[in-house]
Amino acid sequence: MIQPQDICVVIPAYNEGSVIAEVVGGVRNEGFAHILVVNDGSSDDTAAQAERAGAVVISHLVNRGAGAGAQTGIQYARLNGIAHIVQIDADGQHFPEDIRKLAEVMDQEQADIVIGSRFMSRNKDIPMIRVLYNKLSNVFTNWFCTRWYSDTQSGFRMLNRVAIESLDLHIDGFGYCSEMIILGEKSGLIIREVPIRVAYTAYSMSKGQDLYMGINTAMNILWKLVSHPK
């Protein structure tokens, strides 16, 4: 059974100084002591607040994107022999106690990647614009997959050591969410989903992707699939 000490929680963060300490504190309160904040070139005090809250911090010199944060987290896990990583968003929309749900499914189904899905159960709190965007993204991503995934854009996901060693991501932006699933399937990784809760606020709605960014994300995915077909 996967224990909290077997997990490193990775939190990519860009200009999240006003909320990152609360997010780190929430993770620590659930018993997960190993926390990495990837400070993605923030211009505010994200790094200082995260360190003060008890996280290890790795900082990018410039803002590169959520995918670059995921890549740094995976590389950190590779170099430090970490058995499992869980990535959550830095804006406070995820519930740290749901990490245990992902770990349970990974254990029970011998999965290599477990994705926290906002859409496996009815959730009236998700704004309609996010529902629409994610449905479109799901259609696009699942086109390249053998299974159908209900939440391809979820930033809440767990990787075991096999996935940590296997995944070679190239997309620095939000497209990494789709890229991870597509590459994971091509590598023969077992991917599962589990229902999670989310809490959207005016602050969290100011983060993430809009339609224009979503179109750019789709184009980036297509380009990476063409330029890195394996």
For residues 6-34, average pLDDT: 98
Indicate if the pLDDT at residue 217 is higher than 70: no
Cα angle 9-13-19, degrees, rounded to a multiple of 5 = 90
Q: Are 20 and 54 in contact (CB under 8 A)?
A: no
**HSE-up (13 A, CA, CB side) for residue 131:** 10
Check residue 133 and give its pLDDT. 74
- pLDDT band at residue 225, thresholds of 50, 70 and 90? low
CATH code for the domain of 128: 3.90.550.10
Average predicted confidence (pLDDT) for the chain: 89
Q: Which of 24-28, 93-97, 152-156, 216-220 has the lowest mean pLDDT?
A: 216-220
pLDDT tens digits for 40-98? 999 999 999 999 999 999 999 999 999 999 999 999 999 999 999 999 999 999 999 99
- Full domain range(s) for residue 54: 4-227
Taking only the tens place, the pLDDT of each residue in 125-169 is: 776 767 777 788 788 889 889 999 999 999 999 999 999 999 999
| Pairwise pLDDT comparison (2 vs 207), residue with the higher score | 2
**4 neighbors 100 (Cβ within 8 angstroms):** no
217 CB neighbour count, 10 Å cutoff: 24
Angle between helices 176-186 and 211-227 (to 10 degrees): 30
Split into its structural domains, the chain has a count of 1
